[in-house]
């Protein structure tokens, strides 16, 4: 599971899928996760990075990440 | 290094049609306290969910409405509509302010008496009054508003049998240009039914016709309908005194003034479209004052306003149980209160605000209750900040009808707290317990566990 | 009287305009802006106010200097006021011209609040605005001896039988806000009723069908009963949505009189459009009154009575004399044009609410 290579992300939280023409916006933490994801960081690494920076329990983050990834999948932004 | 505040990651598709947010400065309204008392503290002390009633707001509402009518018309009397909220604490705030009681059942009648309202200041409405209740109300000199001919003939018979002199009013229904017409209550104005009733009362030995009553509908958005109603009531009162030579002492225009809640299906929110009490007062008093009654014969104007006086004094506090992604991608949040407690969520798109500061991002969310029932939906679609388990929400304007129409279903009814004028909380109805629930149950011996 | 705006000095006026949806059933905003930009008496900076990210006007940078998203009327006028105050803080808006039926209620309600902020407007009173609503237009017509097709308010499907008996076929069954169907049988009327009820709620209106020539009139009232401008236009070609695709200014004093009568009775303040049906016998019925400028408003400027520019002057307190003449035979022909932009522009307005 990885981010599609051609997906464009911007600093302002916009995401553009040139394959479909769809645009998306994300909150700060979402953009951050996407950028880690683009750097091919593993889910485990992402969890550690976010937990170090934000006041969040690992379990909750894990649940929220799963939901976030399922949204990315629904929006057709991932390749298996 | 201190860690940053966490917010769950979200991604939203930018829809080519609709826009989801309006720049980054748009601020979510957060309500952290009710009349200065923290939502978190209230929940900590009294549990979640929790109904909270502001005594200050009730009195503000009452005093405002009273002033609005009394500055326009010399003789005004409010009668608290028990069915809207019959918690004794609430009723007594209204009675302290000067309200009579308006009841529609035997047990409400008993409640009003027990609250210390003199019998003569209780209006007994509705289509369901037993013989015993009629006798009792007659003896207490209450105002009996007759709903149908069967009741009228029963009362005549009882008055003869028991030597009663009941004070009565005729409930009138009429066409005021609004839909639906509430023609199932009382006697019709246009087809002359009301005349038959009046004649019958005035030809009876014992019944004393003192007033006329109408109640044209509920959640009325047109103040002009009240002008039509007032005009027909004046005309009827005038015609009755012409023909029978008696003076109608009061006109009871009933209730029906809306609160600023937003009805489901309406395009604009209630806060934008609902007429003010002033507009209703203008519509009603202009007609009565301009009708041509002599100053000393002006009828007493009775109002049974319920919802408009109590709705915005009631709040429901609750807690997020879970967030859940629905199969179609929509986000949903499950609260610890459902339609069993918040009955009015069937009619209104209630205003819901978070009780804690959150981020600037918002998400369209379905708000569910905790019941194992598909219809348990508090809001089909509401824009809320990203909530997490344990966060709290405040539902606004829930003071009318919820604490009377709520159901004991799946969960037990929660505590109700009244914040007095100094914002001190008082528990005014205890959360129900299993013992309370079972105190009225009887298990036959052969089904008992000891068998 | 506003003295701070000396229009003669050609101060640049900041004017906010809604209705940038110049699509197949267009809103009037872009046409209004075109009129404002053409007026030689003042310069303008145009602030677009949009609801949806694909309103073409947002991307027409030669016409619209900057656009902000505003909340839908369903969010309540408090949200609208909050957003407008925010925009005003940056832009110092002199005047706002709302152009959507659905938003007018909110803007009228907010008129005094906006005035306090220094944002002028020139809108009808709530009472005038309500009186032209289609559910009570026929009552209004009867009261003031203006010909309006007879109608019946339908709250229940059984009311249709009576309406048919009284009004006869063909009958126009209309939704509370939009949509209408012409029917010739009770079954068709009932079907239309259910459809319109489902879409727009109750009541539904059954109106006597009037056959004739469609004339639209753009009028501008000063709020005291005087008509400052009237331009009658005959539709030459109508789209399947009933919108004029082409039209022509015509000369007929009876239309001018009708518009003047309407403006006088209602003391209409601002722009409005009267939709007229003139029968073969020459009787003119008012079919509908739109409480704002029509989408074809640029024709008024082309014919010599620039209504939007005149509204600006009146809103800023300048005295204006009524127009006396206009050019007859001026035509408009609407055309479509594919504007090219980049996805980043769409993202900015859609995600950030500004462009």
B contacts of A71 (beta carbons < 8 Å): 10-11, 325, 329
Task: Tell me which of A8-17, B131-140, C1-10, C142-151 is least confident.
Answer: C1-10
pLDDT over threshold 50, residue C267: yes
**Residue predicted with more confidence, B20 or C231:** C231
Q: How much is the average pLDDT of C318-337?
A: 94
B27 confidence band (pLDDT: 50, 70, 90):
low
Is residue B220 in a domain? yes
Name the domain boundary from B296, B311, B326: B311
**Does residue B335 share a domain with residue B241?**
no
What pLDDT is recorded for position C8?
Answer: 54
Determine the average pLDDT of the residues in C189-199: 89
Instruction: State the best of C139, C348, C351, C352 to mutate against chain B, taking most chain B CBs within 10 Å.
Output: C351
Q: Which residues pair with C69 in a beta bridge?
A: C50
Which residues on C lie below 8 Å from A23 (Cβ)?
A: 343, 346-347, 350-351
The ipTM value here is 0.93
Q: How far is B154 from chain C (nearest CA, A)?
A: 36
Residue numbers in B near C349 (CB within 8 A):
19
Range from B228-232, B322-326, C2-6, C138-142 carrying the lowest mean pLDDT: C2-6
pLDDT, residue B31, reads 95
What residues contact residue B220 under an 8 Å CB cut-off, 6+ apart?
B178, B226, B256, B257, B258
Which fold would CATH assign to domain A2-79? Arc Repressor Mutant, subunit A (1.10.10)
In a shared domain, residues B250 and B344: no
Name which of B19, B265, B269 is nearest C350 (Cβ-Cβ): B19
The Cα diameter of chain B in Å comes to 90
Total domain count, chain B = 2
Q: How far is A25 from chain C (nearest CA, A)?
A: 6
**C350 to chain A: which residues are within 8 Å by CB?**
23, 25
Residue B2 domain flag: no
Task: Give the 3-state secondary structure of residue B373.
Answer: coil
pLDDT surpassing 90 at residue B199: yes
Do B109 and B62 lie in one domain? The reply is yes
C351 to chain A nearest CA, in Å? 6
Contacting chains of A (3 CB pairs or more, <8 Å) are B, C
Rounded Cα distance between C11 and B275, Å, is 41
Is residue B13 included in any domain, yes or no? no
B19 in any annotated domain: no
pLDDT value at B93 more than 70: yes
Nearest to A55 among B6, B325, B361 (CB): B6
**Which chain C residues are within 8 Å of B179, Cβ to Cβ?**
155-156, 202-203
List residues in chain B touching A: CB distance below 8 A. 3-14, 323, 325, 329, 359, 361, 386, 388-389
State the pLDDT at residue C95. 97
Please tell me whether residues B93 and B158 are part of one structural domain. yes
pLDDT band, very low/low/confident/very high, at B17 (cuts 50, 70, 90): low
Of C71, C74, C76, the CB nearest to B22: C71
Contact A64 B9 (CB under 8 A): yes
Q: How far apart are the first and last CA of chain A?
A: 4
The partner residues of C269 in beta bridges, in order of sequence, read C222
Mean pLDDT of chain C: 90
Nearest CA in chain B to A66: B9
Asked if B276 and B397 sit in the same domain, the reply is: no
* Gap between the Cα atoms of B161 and A13, Å rounded: 83
What is the pLDDT at residue B20? 44
- Sorted by where each starts, the structural domains of chain C and their CATH numbers stand as 7-122+338-352 (3.40.50.20), 150-208 (3.30.1490.20), 211-333 (3.30.470.20)
Clarify whether residues B292 and B329 are in a common domain. no
Q: Hey, which residues 15-54 in chain A have their CB within 8 Å of chain C? A: 16, 21, 23, 25
A31 interaction partners in chain C (CB closer than 8 Å): none
Residues of B with CB below 8 A from A21's CB? none
Pick from A8, A9, A14 the residue to mutate for testing the C interface (most C CBs within 10 Å): A14
Strand-strand pairing, B167-173 and B143-146? parallel
Chain C residues whose CB is inside 8 A of the B19 CB are: 51-53, 69, 349-350, 353
Rg, chain B, Cα only:
25
Query: For residues B238 and B291, is the Cβ–Cβ distance under 8 A?
Result: yes
Residue B376 has pLDDT above 90, yes or no: yes
- How close is the nearest chain A Cα to the Cα of B384, in Å? 14
pLDDT attached to residue B16: 61
At C142-170, the pLDDT tens digits run 888 889 999 998 988 888 999 999 998 89
What pLDDT does residue C9 have?
A: 60
Minimal-distance CA residue of chain C relative to A27: C351
CATH code: domain of residue B391: 2.40.37.10
**Mean pLDDT score of chain B:** 93
Mutation target among A64, A73, A77 for the B interface, most CBs of B within 10 A:
A64
Domain presence at residue B120: yes
pLDDT one-digit tens code per residue, C37-64: 999 999 999 999 999 888 999 999 999 9
Burial class (CB in 10 A: 0-12, 13-18, 19+), B348: buried
Alpha-helical (H) ranges within B71-172 are 88-97, 106-114, 131-139, 149-162
Q: Is C346 within 8 Å of A23 when comparing Cβ atoms? A: yes
Domain stops at, among B256, B276, B311: B311
Structure-block tokens of residue C185: 């049988």
Cα separation of B124 and B440, whole Å?
A: 28
Q: How far is B181 from chain A (nearest CA, A)?
A: 49
| Averaged pLDDT, B306-310 | 97
Residue B177 lies in a domain: yes
- Give the per-residue pLDDT at B449: 83
Mean pLDDT value across residues B411-435: 97
Say yes or no: B301 and B373 in one domain: no
A66 Cβ under 8 Å from any chain B Cβ: no
Which of B5, B11, B321 best tests the A interface by mutation, with the highest count of A CBs <10 A?
B11
Any domain includes B18: no
User: How far is residue B36 from each of residues B89, B421, B425, measured CA to CA in Å?
Assistant: 20, 11, 11
| Residue contact C353–B23, C-beta within 8 A | yes
Do B103 and B224 lie in one domain? The reply is: yes
Of B14, B269, B272, the CB nearest to C350: B14
Question: How much is the pLDDT for B392?
Answer: 97
Q: Which of B10-19, B57-66, B131-140, C328-337 has the lowest mean pLDDT?
A: B10-19
Q: Do A23 and C352 touch (CB under 8 A)?
A: no
Structure-block tokens of residue B324: 């859940």
Top-confidence residue, C180 or B189: B189
B83 has a pLDDT exceeding 80: yes
Residue pLDDT, tens place only, C63-118: 999 999 998 888 888 889 999 999 999 999 999 999 988 899 999 999 999 999 99
What is the distance between the alpha carbons of residues C110 and C88, in angstroms, rounded to a whole number?
Answer: 14
Domain definitions of chain A by residue range: 2-79
Q: Both B223 and B356 in a single domain?
A: no
- Interchain CB distance below 8 Å, C353 and B22: yes
* Conformation bin of residue B16: beta by default, left when phi > 0, alpha when psi is -120 to 50: alpha
**Percentage, residues of chain C above pLDDT 70:** 97
Residue C248 CA to its chain's centroid (Å): 19
pLDDT for res C350: 83
Indicate yes or no: CB of B269 within 8 angstroms of CB of C75: yes
Token pair in block for residue B157: 């018979």
The answer to whether position B447 is within a domain reads no
Q: Which of residues B277, B311, B345 is at a domain's end? A: B311
Q: What is the pLDDT of residue B451?
A: 65
Contacts of B13 in chain A (CB under 8 A): 22-24, 75
Q: Is the pLDDT of residue C2 over 70?
A: no
> Of all helices (H) and strands (E), which one includes residue B405?
helix B402-405
Show residues of chain C in contact with B21, CB under 8 Å.
351, 353
- Same domain, residue pair B396 and B368: yes
- Give the Å distances, CA to CA, from B55 to B77, B90, C42, C274: 20, 8, 56, 52
Same domain? B385 vs B306: no
Range of the domain at B228: 55-311
Across the interface, whether the CB atoms of A71 and B359 are under 8 A apart is answered: no
* Of the partner residues B15, B24, B271, the one whose CB lies closest to the CB of residue C78: B271
Kindly give the parts of chain A with pLDDT less than 70.
80
- Look at residue C124 in the predicted model and tell me its pLDDT: 94
Round to whole Å and give the CA distance between B111 and C201.
Answer: 40
Residue C200: which pLDDT band, with cuts at 50, 70 and 90? Answer: confident
Q: Name the more confident of C1 and B249.
A: B249
Q: Is the pLDDT of residue C1 over 60?
A: no
For the segment B423-440, the average pLDDT, to the nearest whole number, is 97
Best of A11, A12, A21, A26 to mutate (most C CBs within 10 Å, chain C): A12
- B294 with B338, same domain? no
B300-303/B250-252 β-pairing: parallel
Candidate from A8-17, B206-215, B388-397, C36-45 with smallest mean pLDDT: A8-17
């Amino acid at each position: 599971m990885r981010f599609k290579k051609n997906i464009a992300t911007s600093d302002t939280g916009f995401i553009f899928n040139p394959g479909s023409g769809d645009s998306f916006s994300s909150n700060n933490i979402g953009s951050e996760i996407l950028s880690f994801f683009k750097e091919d960081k593993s889910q485990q690494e992402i969890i550690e990075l976010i937990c170090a920076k934000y006041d969040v329990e690992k379990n909750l983050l894990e649940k929220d990440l799963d939901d976030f990834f399922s949204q990315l999948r629904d929006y057709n932004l991932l390749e298996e | 290094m201190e860690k940053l505040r966490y917010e769950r990651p979200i991604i939203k598709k930018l829809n080519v049609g609709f826009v989801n947010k309006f720049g980054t400065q748009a601020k979510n309204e957060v309500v952290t306290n009710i009349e200065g008392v923290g939502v978190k503290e209230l929940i900590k002390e009294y549990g979640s969910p929790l109904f909270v009633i502001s005594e200050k707001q009730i009195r503000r509402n009452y005093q405002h409405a009273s002033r609005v009518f009394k500055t326009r018309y010399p003789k005004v009397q409010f009668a608290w509509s028990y069915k809207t909220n019959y918690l004794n604490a609430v009723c007594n705030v209204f009675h302290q302010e000067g309200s009579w009681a308006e009841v529609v059942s035997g047990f409400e009648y008993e409640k009003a008496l027990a609250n210390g309202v003199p019998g003569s200041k209780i209006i007994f409405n509705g289509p369901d009054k037993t013989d015993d209740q009629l006798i009792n109300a007659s003896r207490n000199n209450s105002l009996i508003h007759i709903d149908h001919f069967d009741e009228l003939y029963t009362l005549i018979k009882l008055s003869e049998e028991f030597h009663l002199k009941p004070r009565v009013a005729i409930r009138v229904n009429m066409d005021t240009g609004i839909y639906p017409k509430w023609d199932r209550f009382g006697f019709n104005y246009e087809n002359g039914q009301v005349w038959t009733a009046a004649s019958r009362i005035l030809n009876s030995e014992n019944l004393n016709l003192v007033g006329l009553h109408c109640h044209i509908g509920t959640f009325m958005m047109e103040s002009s309908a009240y002008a039509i109603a007032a005009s027909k009531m004046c005309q009827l009162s005038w015609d009755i005194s012409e023909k029978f030579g008696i003076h109608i002492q009061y006109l009871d225009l009933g209730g029906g003034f809306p609160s600023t809640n937003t009805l489901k299906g309406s395009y604009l929110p209630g806060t934008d479209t609902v007429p003010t009490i002033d507009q209703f007062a203008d519509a009603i008093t202009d007609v009565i004052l301009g009708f041509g009654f002599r100053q000393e014969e002006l009828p007493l104007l009775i109002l049974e306003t319920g919802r408009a006086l109590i709705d915005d004094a009631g709040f429901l506090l609750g807690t997020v149980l879970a967030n859940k992604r629905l199969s179609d991608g929509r986000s949903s949040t499950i609260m610890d209160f459902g339609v069993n407690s918040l009955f009015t969520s069937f009619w209104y798109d209630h205003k819901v605000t978070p009780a804690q500061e959150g981020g600037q991002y918002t998400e369209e969310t379905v708000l569910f209750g905790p019941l194992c029932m598909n219809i348990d939906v508090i809001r089909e679609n509401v824009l809320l900040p990203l909530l997490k388990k344990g966060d709290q929400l405040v539902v606004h304007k829930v003071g009318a009808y919820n604490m009377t129409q709520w159901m004991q279903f799946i969960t037990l009814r929660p505590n109700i707290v009244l914040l007095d004028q100094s914002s001190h909380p008082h528990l005014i109805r205890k959360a129900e317990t299993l013992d309370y629930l079972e105190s009225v149950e009887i298990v036959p011996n052969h089904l008992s566990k000891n068998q | 009287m506003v003295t701070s705006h000396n229009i003669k000095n050609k101060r640049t006026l900041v004017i906010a305009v809604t209705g940038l949806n110049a699509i197949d059933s267009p809103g009037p905003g872009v046409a209004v802006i075109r009129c404002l930009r053409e007026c030689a008496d003042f310069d303008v900076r145009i602030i677009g106010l949009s609801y949806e990210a694909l309103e073409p006007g947002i991307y027409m940078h030669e016409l619209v200097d900057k656009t902000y998203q505003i909340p839908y009327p369903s969010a309540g006028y408090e949200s609208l006021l909050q957003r407008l105050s925010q925009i005003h803080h940056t832009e110092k808006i002199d005047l706002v011209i709302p152009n959507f039926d659905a938003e007018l209620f909110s803007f009228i309600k907010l008129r005094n609040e906006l005035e306090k902020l220094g944002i002028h407007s020139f809108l009808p009173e709530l009472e005038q605005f309500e009186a032209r609503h289609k559910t009570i237009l026929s009552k209004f017509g009867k009261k003031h001896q203006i010909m309006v097709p007879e109608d019946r308010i339908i709250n229940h499907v059984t009311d249709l039988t009576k309406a048919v008996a009284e009004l006869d076929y063909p009958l126009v069954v209309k939704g509370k806000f939009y949509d209408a169907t012409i029917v010739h049988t009770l079954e068709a009327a009932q079907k239309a009723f259910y459809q319109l009820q489902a879409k727009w709620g109750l009541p539904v209106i059954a109106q006597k069908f009037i056959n004739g020539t469609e004339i639209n009139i753009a009028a501008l009232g000063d709020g005291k009963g005087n008509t400052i401008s009237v331009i009658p236009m005959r539709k030459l070609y109508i789209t399947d949505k009933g919108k004029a695709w082409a039209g022509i200014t015509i000369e007929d004093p009876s239309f001018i009189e009708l518009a003047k009568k309407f403006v006088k009775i209602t003391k209409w303040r601002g722009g409005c459009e009267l939709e007229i049906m003139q029968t073969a016998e020459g009787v003119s019925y008012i079919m509908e009154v739109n409480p704002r400028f029509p989408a074809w408003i640029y024709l008024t400027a082309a014919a010599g009575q620039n209504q939007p520019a005149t509204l600006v002057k009146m809103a800023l307190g300048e005295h204006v004399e009524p127009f006396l003449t206009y050019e007859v035979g001026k035509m408009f022909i609407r055309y479509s044009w594919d504007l090219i932009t980049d996805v980043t522009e769409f993202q900015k307005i859609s995600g950030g609410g500004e462009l």
